[in-house]
Chain A
Amino acid sequence: MNDMPKLDLSRRSFLLTSSLVSGTFVLGFHFPAAAAAAQDTEVNAWVVISPDNSVVVRVAHSEMGQGSMTALAMLVAEELNADWSTVRTEFVDPRENIKRNKVYGGMATVGSRAVRSSHQYLRNAGAGAREMLVAAAAQRLKVPATELVAANSTITHAASKRTLTYGDVAAAAAKLTPPAKVELKDPATWTIAGKPTKRLDIADKVHAKPVYAIDVMLPDMVHAAIVQSPVFGGKLKSHDETAIKNHKGIVQVVPLEDAIAVVADSYWAAQRAVKAIPVTWDDGANGKVSSASIAEFINSGLNQPEAPATRNDGDVKASLAKAAKVIEATYRVPFLSHAPMETQNATVRFSGDIVEVWAPTQNTESVMSAAAQAAGVDPLKVVVHPTFSGGGFGRRGGGGGTTDYIEQATKIAKAVGKPVKLIWSREEDIQHDYYRPISAAKFTAGLDAQGNIVAWNTRIAGQTILSTSAPKAIKDNMDAGFLVAFTDNPYAVENVKVDYAMRNTHVHVGYWRSVNHSQNGYFRECFFDEVAKAAGQDPYEMRRKYLAKAPKQLAVLDTVAKAAEWGKPLPKGMWRGIAQVDGYDSFVAAVAEISLNPDGSPKVHRIVTAIDPGYAVNPDSIKGQMEGAVVWAMSAALYDEITIKDGRVEQGNFDTYPVLRMHEMPIVDVHVVPSGGFWGGVGEPGAPPVAPAIANAMLAATGKPIRSLPIVRRNAATV
C-alpha cells in the first residue's frame, strides 16, 4: 500500500508537492528530490537549475494527454539553449500564481491555448534565463558576455578554452537583474522546438507509474459514492438510510443539497449502498422536459421571423428572389457527453488549516478556488496536488460549474472528518455532464444560372454555452461565439446573413473538444456540398473557387485532396467526401473514404487530414492529436447523442453511449504542414472537418444529404 506522508509545511512552498511524494509513489513527472531541492536555483519563474546541471521547467498548464507539458518545456529549453536530455518539468502550484501576481497568466488548459497563449512568455523566460546565466559566466571568467557561447547547458569561452555549466553559475545568475528585453530566435534556427520529440510523460505512463487522482491512497482515507438529482436543478427531498442498515463497511451517509453520498471502507461498498437508498427528489420546474419538447423549442427558433445577426452583407432577400435556383436545408445536432476515461473524482484531506486536493482537472486554479469556497477557507490555504488527468476534453475546464465534483468531495470530507476519495460512477459522469449544446441550422442559398452562389442565409437556433457558464454575460440575446465558422465563413459570397435565435434549455452545457466549431463546421461543410451538388460542381473544385482569397484554408484543402488523390476513381463501392474548417488559429482539412455497410451505415476506411498550426512545436505530438481528433469526431458523427426524458438524461454508460472502438478505426493519414508566422492550437481543430467529410462521402454514395447526427442512429437503419 502506498501511503502519502503527512503534509510538511517546512519545505519551501513551491516544491511542496514534491515533498509529499515518497519514493514509491511516483507521480509520473520528475520532481527534484527534497534534499536537492534546497540547492536548486530558481533563475526565473520558469527556469530552475539543479547543481547537477539539469534543468527544471515549470509548466503552468495541465497535462491530459495532449502533450502540453513537453511542448511548453521545449519552447523554454529552445531559448535557454538547454541540454534537452536533462530537462524535467514541474507543475506550477496555483498559489504561486497568486503570490507572484499572476506571473503564469491564466492556468486553465482550454481552447487549445496551452502553446498559443504562452509561447511568448515561455520563450522570453528561456531567453532571459540564458542571458542571465551568460552574464554571470562573463563576470566569473572576467570576459565580455559577447565572447561567450551558450549551448547544451554549457557556456564556452572559445579563446581561453574555458567552460562553465549552467549549474556552475545558476546561483550567481539568479542574483542578477533580469534583462528588460530579450531577442528571440528565428524559428528557422530552432534545434529543439519544431523537431519530433519524445514526450516526457510516455515512459512513466506505459509503466503505469503515474498516480492519477483516482489512484490516490491516504492513511485513514474512506471512499465516497454519489447519486445526484437526475433532473438538472433538482433538489434532494428525502431519503431512507434504514435501507442500508445491513450493509457492511458503511461509514456515513452524507446528504447534500442536490445529491446524496455514502461513505464506506471501499468504493464498491459505497457505490452499492448509495444505489440502495430510496431517495425522493424535488425535480423543480423541468421534470417534464423531453427531447421532443426541446426539438419543438429549437424549431421555434428556426422559424421565428427575425433574430439578432452577426452578418448582414449585401441584400440576401433580393438576391434569393432573383436566384435561378434556391437550396434549402435544415441541419441538427444533439447534446453530447465528454465521457473521459477517468470519471470525475476528487480526494480531499483537511490537515490543520490546510485543505489538500487531488483531482483530475484542466485548471488547478479553479480546483483551488472551488475547494476554498466549499471548505470556507482562503485559497492560499488550499494545496492542489498535481496529477495527470485521465482525459478532460473540456469537462474539467474549471468554469461554469465544472468543479462540481471538487466541491462535493470537499463538503463530504468536511462532514466525515477523514480524508475522502469521491468517485463518480460512469452513469453519474454521463448523466451530470456539461454537454456539447444542442443546435440546428436552417440554410437558404441561391445559385445563379451559371452555378455561382449569389446568397447564403444561415439561421442558427440552439443553446449557448453561456446559458450555463455565464448567464449574466448574455447581452441582447446574442452569443457571437455560437456562430463561429459562419460569421468568419471564409467562402467568399457577396450576400450573406448569419443570425441566431437563442434557445436555452435546463440542460447543463459546456465546452466539448472543438466546441462550437464542431457543430457549425458540420453544418456549413455539409450544406456547401449540397450547394455544389445543386450547382453541378465538384465539391473540392467549388471550395477552391470560393477560397481563392483564403490561402491558408486553400493550402490544407489542396494538401488533403492531393494526398487522397481526389478525382482519381476509387474502387467500386467506395466514395470520398471532403471538408475544411479553420479554428483555434489553425487550418484543417479532411478527406473521408467510405463504403456502405449492408444496413446503409458508413464504413470509414481512411481519413486523410492536414493541419497548418503555423509553428509546429512538437510535430509527432500534433500528429497524435490529429489522430485522436478523428476518433473523437467519428464517435460523435456515427453514434453519440444525449437525449432527455422526464427532464433527465436517458443514456448512462458506454452501452447506451457507444464510442468508437478499434474495429471501426479507419487508417488515419495525417499531414502536419506548418507554414510559420503564427501560433495555432492543436488539441481541438482536428475534429470539426471529420464529421462533414464522412457525411459528404455519404452524400456522394447515396445522393442523400446527412442532415442530422449521429449518422448511424438518425440516418441509417442500425442502432
Chain B
Amino acid sequence: MITLKINGQDHNVDVEPDMPLLWVLRDKLGMTGTKFGCGIAQCGACTVQINGVATRSCVTPAAAVVGAEIKTIEALTDSGNSVIQKAWIDHEVPQCGYCQPGMMMAADALLKDNPHPTDEDINAAITNICRCGTYPRVRKAIHAAANNT
C-alpha cells in the first residue's frame, strides 16, 4: 500500500511500486482525464504535474512520486475556469479533444514557470502530440492566457 497526494488529497492505493502513475490514476482511482497515448513518454497525452513540473505519467512509477504533489487535469477543472481553460474555450482549441488534458497540463506548467513565454519557449515546452493538428490554436491560446494572468 502506498499513499499518493493527488490534487491535495491523500489516496491509499494497493499497487505494485513500479505501476506507472498513469494506470494508478486511470484504473485504480478512476481519474480518467489523464489519457493514454503511447506508453513511452513520446506523446504527452498522459501529462500531469509533479511538484509543478509537467511530467509524463505513463513512465513514472507510482513509488517514485510518493510524497510529491501530483496535480491532474481534474484539479485544473475543479478550480473553475482556469486561465488556460478559458483561453482554450475562447480559441476553440480542441478537435477530438483526446490530447488536450495533457496539452493543458503542459501549458499550465509552462505559464507557472514563465508567465510570458515566447514562441520559442512554447516550442520547447509543448512537446505533446496532437494528430488533429490543433498546434496553431494551442499556441494562440497560450499567448492569450499569458496576457490574462
Question: Is there an interface contact between B136 and A65, defined as CB atoms closer than 8 Å?
Answer: no
Question: Is there an interface contact between B77 and A388, defined as CB atoms closer than 8 Å?
Answer: no
A388 touches which of B85, B92, B97, B138 (Cβ 8 Å): B97
**A381 at the binding interface (Cβ < 8 Å):** no
Question: Is there an interface contact between A654 and B43, defined as CB atoms closer than 8 Å?
Answer: yes
B134 contact set on A, CB distance < 8 A: 624, 627-628
A209 contact set on B, CB distance < 8 A: 77
Question: Is there an interface contact between A662 and B138, defined as CB atoms closer than 8 Å?
Answer: yes
Question: Is there an interface contact between A341 and B131, defined as CB atoms closer than 8 Å?
Answer: yes
A392 to B131 alpha-carbon distance, docked (Å): 10
B93 contact set on A, CB distance < 8 A: 202, 206
**B32 at the binding interface (Cβ < 8 Å):** yes
B94 contact set on A, CB distance < 8 A: 65, 201-202, 205-206
Nearest CB on B from A615, distance (A): 20
Question: Is there an interface contact between A426 and B132, defined as CB atoms closer than 8 Å?
Answer: no
**B96 at the binding interface (Cβ < 8 Å):** yes
Q: Which of the candidate stretches B1-9, B47-55, B63-71, B122-130 sits at the interface with the other chain?
A: B122-130
Q: Which of the candidate stretches A81-89, A183-191, A629-637, A707-715 sits at the interface with the other chain?
A: A629-637
Nearest CB on A from B137, distance (A): 7
A661 to B131 alpha-carbon distance, docked (Å): 9
| A-side interface residues, number (CB < 8 Å) | 64
Interface string of B1-33 (1 = CB under 8 A from A): 000000000000001100110010011111011
Known contacts A208-B73, A388-B97, A628-B132; decide if A342 and B23 are in contact (CB<8 Å).
no
**B35 at the binding interface (Cβ < 8 Å):** yes
Question: Is there an interface contact between A655 and B40, defined as CB atoms closer than 8 Å?
Answer: yes
A223 to B30 alpha-carbon distance, docked (Å): 13
A321 to B90 alpha-carbon distance, docked (Å): 61
B88 contact set on A, CB distance < 8 A: 202, 206
Tell me the B72-119 residues at the A interface (CB within 8 Å): 73-74, 77, 85, 88-89, 92-101, 104
Question: Is there an interface contact between A662 and B97, defined as CB atoms closer than 8 Å?
Answer: no
**A452 at the binding interface (Cβ < 8 Å):** no
**A136 at the binding interface (Cβ < 8 Å):** no
B95 contact set on A, CB distance < 8 A: 64-67, 624, 628
Question: Is there an interface contact between A267 and B92, defined as CB atoms closer than 8 Å?
Answer: no
B33 contact set on A, CB distance < 8 A: 208
Which has the most chain A C-beta neighbours within 10 Å: B35, B97, B101, B137?
Answer: B97
Question: Is there an interface contact between B19 and A268, defined as CB atoms closer than 8 Å?
Answer: yes
**A308 at the binding interface (Cβ < 8 Å):** no
Known contacts A202-B92, A627-B136, A654-B38; decide if A663 and B124 are in contact (CB<8 Å).
yes
Known contacts A203-B89, A342-B96, A627-B137; decide if A1 and B29 are in contact (CB<8 Å).
yes
Question: Is there an interface contact between A206 and B85, defined as CB atoms closer than 8 Å?
Answer: yes
B131 contact set on A, CB distance < 8 A: 338-341, 391, 393, 631-632, 659
A628 contact set on B, CB distance < 8 A: 95, 132-134
Question: Is there an interface contact between A65 and B96, defined as CB atoms closer than 8 Å?
Answer: yes
B28 contact set on A, CB distance < 8 A: 266
Tell me the A325-343 residues at the B interface (CB within 8 Å): 338-343
Nearest CB on A from B4, distance (A): 15
Q: Which of the candidate stretches A121-129, A210-218, A466-474, A545-553 sits at the interface with the other chain?
A: A210-218
Nearest CB on A from B147, distance (A): 18
Nearest CB on B from A618, distance (A): 10
**A423 at the binding interface (Cβ < 8 Å):** yes
* A208 and chain B: residue at smallest CB distance: B33
Known contacts A662-B139, A663-B124; decide if A390 and B97 are in contact (CB<8 Å).
yes
Which has the most chain A C-beta neighbours within 10 Å: B29, B38, B126?
Answer: B38
A321 to B120 alpha-carbon distance, docked (Å): 55
A391 touches which of B32, B96, B101, B138 (Cβ 8 Å): B96
A654 to B131 alpha-carbon distance, docked (Å): 11
A662 contact set on B, CB distance < 8 A: 122-123, 126-128, 135, 138-139
A631 contact set on B, CB distance < 8 A: 130-133, 135
**B45 at the binding interface (Cβ < 8 Å):** yes
A2 to B29 alpha-carbon distance, docked (Å): 9
> A residues within 8 Å of B by Cβ?
1-2, 64-67, 198-199, 201-203, 205-212, 214-215, 217, 223, 248, 265-269, 271, 338-343, 388-393, 423, 425-426, 620, 624, 627-632, 653-655, 659-663, 665, 667-668
18 example contacts (A-B, Cβ-Cβ < 8 A) are as follows A65-B95, A65-B132, A206-B97, A208-B73, A208-B101, A223-B27, A248-B16, A267-B27, A268-B27, A341-B129, A341-B131, A341-B132, A342-B35, A390-B97, A627-B133, A654-B38, A662-B122, A665-B136
